[in-house]
Structure 1
Amino acid sequence: NALGAILAFMTGAAVCAVLVNWGRQRQLYSVYALPLMLEALMLFPFGLMGTVTLNWNTPFAVPLTVLLLSFMMGLQNAVGSKTSGGSTRTTHMTGNFTDLGMELGKALFWRRQRRQAATVLPAVQHDWHRMRMTAGLIAMFVLGGITGALGFKHIGFFCVVPLALLLLALSVPPFLRDAAHSTELQTLWRRFHQR
């Protein structure tokens, strides 16, 4: 059932928004590190137990693995959107292809316009920075897709464990910096360890 996957995706995006806004409200250095750390902590069990959880049924008639992946995709997409001010989506590329196509169209029109006489209207100018950024995102998306497919084919679900380690390596230092200065985080950490 696609409804379960959609709800899991939206829940992941909502959790990211809650974590980022909670961090901003407390002026934490690790505002974006918190959702990345959560994603890393979810990737570990997925990578280590993916074959087991693949068959666990849920009320949505889809395996738990599908819901877990959808949640992480929503979380990841929201992190990309939040850090870029809403201009970047990381789990789908249609917007990036659209932006790249529009900038290419502007570049072609700009070259044609330069050959013609000057007009009263302002010149159409393309944005090289945006072109490079969208082309880079598309290239990394394709490279990641190929690497992920090959990794899954040869290693299985375990291929995501190195990615989880990388996310932890990126997200833990800012979190530790905040934990050293935030009494609220220290209290939360103590409560977590007491359980």
Structure 2
Amino acid sequence: MGRRSHITRPFVSARVLVGHRRSQGSDYLLALYLAAIAGASNAGGFFALGQYTSHMTGYLSQIADNLVVGNLVVVATAVLAIGAFVTGAAFCAVLVNWARHRVGRQQFALPVAAQGVCLACFAFGGVFSTAPGRLFALACLCFIMGMQNATITKISGARIRTTHATGMITDIGIEMGRACYALLLPGSSVKVNREKLRILVSLVLAYVLGGIVGALGYAHVGFYFSAPLAALLLALSLPSLLIRPLGKR
């Protein structure tokens, strides 16, 4: 019995992370995993494709700038990237709502698993050496980024967005400003939210560390480095999808 409990413990932990009953702790831990994977994937987009695939603000700027200079190829590429990102977020919403009504407890495991499958597809994007093949790989990765940001947004009730580093860094600045104000005027009612600041800083660090690992991995093995990232996402999600709830036969 003890041996069985020891073996199944990782599966139970994975099921808790993507379970339908949420806690701030499980949201935070899952967000750390996803932020690190997002950082690694974004680095992969740069090394494999020369594009940062989570940076939608940059793509919007590319559309504006290149419309002015008449570079329609870059405009079309940016539109493809944004469209893929939005489609990924929309697909995540469809999966979550479908699973909520049909399979209940798997509503969050399903989109995480879908991201793992898409990353596995991206791992073999390097077999396409043509321009259309690279566009497919770009769209695939932007689709994954949109899915991931929507997944953690849905899971956390819009409290956390793992690919939106600009928003997280802005919130860090706000909390630091509140801390400075509290130091200057200790009698005021303004107080820093230390827990929120800790979470934001750790998520940004996870994103950066993931980016470092991803940069090293993609620089050495290319697209195939996506395979272990896909395996991690599938390891998080498959226990909830394949293993029956405890106590049921």
The residue number in structure 2 matching 1:130 is 196
Q: Report the CA distance between 1:53 and its aligned residue.
A: 3.1
In structure 2, how many angstroms separate the alpha carbons of the residues matched to 1:176 and 1:24?
17
Alignment of 1:86-125 (within 5 A): 86-114=158-186, 118=187, 123-125=189-191
Instruction: Confirm or deny that 1:16 pairs with 2:92.
Output: yes
Q: Which has the higher contact order (CA 8 A, sep 6+)?
A: 2
Instruction: Summarize deviations over 1:27-65 as a string: whole Å, max 9, x none.
Output: 622211101111111111221x2212353518xxx7111
Q: What's the C-alpha RMSD, in Å, of the aligned pairs?
A: 2.0
Q: Say yes or no: does 1:145 pair with 2:217.
A: no
1:73 aligns with 2:142: no
**1:51 to 2:126 alignment:** yes
With the length of structure 2 as denominator, give the TM-score of the two structures.
0.64
Amino acid in structure 1 at the alignment position of 2:120:
F
CA drift at 1:101: 0.6
Residue 93 of structure 1: how far off its partner (Å): 0.4
Residue 87 of structure 1 deviates from its aligned partner by: 2.2
Q: Percent identity, aligned pairs only? A: 43
Residue number in structure 1 paired with 2:38? none
Instruction: Determine if contact 1:28/1:178 at 8 Å carries over to the other structure.
Output: no
Higher helix share: 2
Uncovered stretches (5+) of structure 2, i.e. residues with no partner: 1-75
SS class of match (2:104):
coil
Q: Report the 3-state secondary structure (helix = DSSP H, G, I; strand = E; otherwise coil) of the residue aligned with 1:29.
A: helix
Structure 1: unaligned runs, 5 residues or longer: 181-195
> How far does residue 80 in structure 1 lie from its aligned partner after superposition?
1.5
Taking the aligned partners of 1:176 and 1:101, their CA distance within structure 2 comes to: 42
Q: How far apart in 2 are the matches of 1:101 and 1:46?
A: 35
Counterpart secondary structure, 1:51: helix
Shift of 1:82: 0.9
Instruction: Quote the Cα distance in structure 2 between the aligned partners of 1:39 and 1:179.
Output: 23
- Asked if 1:5 is matched to 2:71, the reply is no
Is the aligned partner of 1:163 residue 2:239? no
**Residues paired across the two proteins, number:** 170
Higher mean displacement: 81-90 or 91-100: 81-90
Which AA in structure 1 matches 2:110?
A: L
Question: In the alignment, residue 50 of structure 1 is paired with which amino acid?
Answer: G
Moved more, 83-92 or 6-15: 83-92
User: Which amino acid in 1 is paired with 2:132?
Assistant: N
Match of 1:172 in 2: 238
Q: Given that residues 50 and 65 in structure 1 are in contact (C-alpha distance below 8 angstroms), is that contact kept between their aligned partners in structure 2?
A: yes
Q: Distance in 2 between matches of 1:163 and 1:92?
A: 19
Separation in 2 of the partners of 1:36 and 1:54?
28
- C-alpha distance in 2 between matches for 1:26 and 1:96: 34
